[in-house]
Amino acid sequence: MPTALEKAGARSVAELAEMPGVRDCLQWFTREKQWINEQHLRVVRIPAPTFFEQERAAYMAERFRELDCEVQLDGAGNVIALPRKASGDEYVVVSAHLDTVLAPRTPEEITVDSGGGLRGPGVSDNGAGLAGLLAVAAALHASPPLPELRRGLLLLANVCEEGEGNLNGMRHFCEDSALGAKARAFLVLDGPALDHITSTALESRRYEVSFSGPGGHSWSDFGTANPVHALGRALASFLEQQAGAAAGGGCSYNFGWIEGGTGVNSIPTFARAKVDLRSETGERMEAVYRLLTSAVERGAAAENEQATAGRVSARVRPIGVRPGGRLPEDAAILRCVRAVDAHLGIRAKLDCASTDANIPLSKGLQAVSIGAGGAGGGAHTPSEWYHSRGRDLGLKRVLLTLCLLLREAYLAGGPGE
């Protein structure tokens, strides 16, 4: 149930929702559902695997220009759009990542069912967020100017959120961009779900574990130290130890990619795996990392001990780090989202996840990640799906939260004020 403070905030939001301009935007989201759906379909049919988002970025930039935004692409390839009706030298940022884990090979791989639902790689994560960005820009363009925008609004379609992209698009914006230096709060749109508010950044680290050896013929050189066997021993050792260590929760691990060898009758010269480690605390992360490195050492030692020729060597190389961070529960941005949720009747819980919000949160900036509305599932699989039913509720949540953030002077004071 909403608290007394949230109920009071909801009354303030109700008054805000009836203001000219704001009311027009809210009505636009419901009236123009078909336009939003069409934009969603068009953008997700443009392939944008991590590191190759350029074509989708160009599409987003052109749409923003049509909606009377001042548009620029920064050094990382992020699309930055400033609505011309907004002003100010400090910004609230609404962002959505451009890239997907999987990409459609042809536009026809993204299908539309009889009920209007989408199916295919990236339709939910993050087609929902990108459609949300365009919808916000279009609603503002079609409506009278909002006085709340005097503090400045920046729309960001950023690259490199997924996988080995390492949040580099958001990292570049926050660390190397002149406009990023003026950002005071971030609403990150990631997927559709309205039942959560990600306010804790889940720390993650990615490593490549590799083994190398002399190789040879499977018969005549039998007994030579084998990198694939050593990798298998290391994985088994890690999983056996970590099963007990992870029993208390708060961390996860995943060996998501393995390769090695050139043929069934050749002892390989090389084998490697990529592993994802995540933890809610830095201490737990260090403990899991130590288990990984010790397992790799044991895998190499065990293989060398039983080998009759040659030796394998091992290496653990970092390939990505996502920093952690936590928003205080009394932060202004959380008060705004909760007040809007109380007004709209949305019940959401605070959660911990790894999103673009990790970067601003790690720097002490106010940031949350929320869904853009609708329903979806199967993220990061070929059978990913999305349905726009209820999307307008999510977009109203975004717009009202944005308006509250833009008119709250205390945002400039930092995350806990």
User: Cα(77)–Cα(89) distance, rounded to whole angstroms?
Assistant: 23
Domains annotated on the chain, with CATH: 4-201+324-413 (3.40.630.10), 203-322 (3.30.70.360)
Tell me the per-residue pLDDT of 298-347, one tens digit each, with 9 for 90 and over: 999 999 999 999 999 999 999 999 999 999 989 999 999 999 999 999 99
pLDDT at residue 118, as a whole number: 97
Please answer whether residues 192 and 374 qualify as being in contact, where contact means their C-beta atoms are separated by less than 8 angstroms. Answer: yes
Contacts of the segment 64-67: beta carbons below 8 A, 24+ positions apart? 64/134, 64/137, 64/155, 67/134, 67/137, 67/138, 67/140, 67/141
The CA-based dihedral angle spanning residues 109, 113, 117, 120, taken in that order and rounded to the nearest 10 degrees = -20
Edge-to-edge strand order for the sheet containing 203-212?
A: 251-260, 270-279, 203-212, 313-322
pLDDT of residue 411: 46
Q: Where are the beta strands (DSSP E) in 218-365?
A: 251-260, 266-267, 270-279, 313-322, 325-326, 349-353
The amino acid at residue 149 is: L
pLDDT, position 415: 41
| Segments in the chain below pLDDT 70 | 1-10, 85-88, 147-151, 243-249, 408-417
Tell me, rounded to whole angstroms, the distance of Cα 380 from its chain centroid.
12
Strand partners for 377: 385
Nearest Cα to Cα of residue 307 among 299, 295, 297, 319: 299
Chain segment 131-151, per-residue pLDDT in tens:
999 999 999 999 988 766 656
Which residues neighbour 113 within 8 Å (Cβ) at sequence distance 6 or greater?
119
In contact, 97 and 159? CB cutoff 8 Å: yes
Q: What is the DSSP letter of 145?
A: P
Q: What is the pLDDT of residue 416?
A: 40
Q: Give the 3-state secondary structure of residue 83.
A: strand
DSSP states of 53-80: -HHHHHHHHHHHHHTTEEEEE-TTS-EE
CA angle 30, 33, 39 (to 5 degrees): 140
Per DSSP bridges, beta strands 349-353 and 196-201 are parallel
| Residue 157 CA neighbour count, 13 Å, CB half | 35
**Pick from 102, 113, 131, 115: nearest CA to 41:** 131
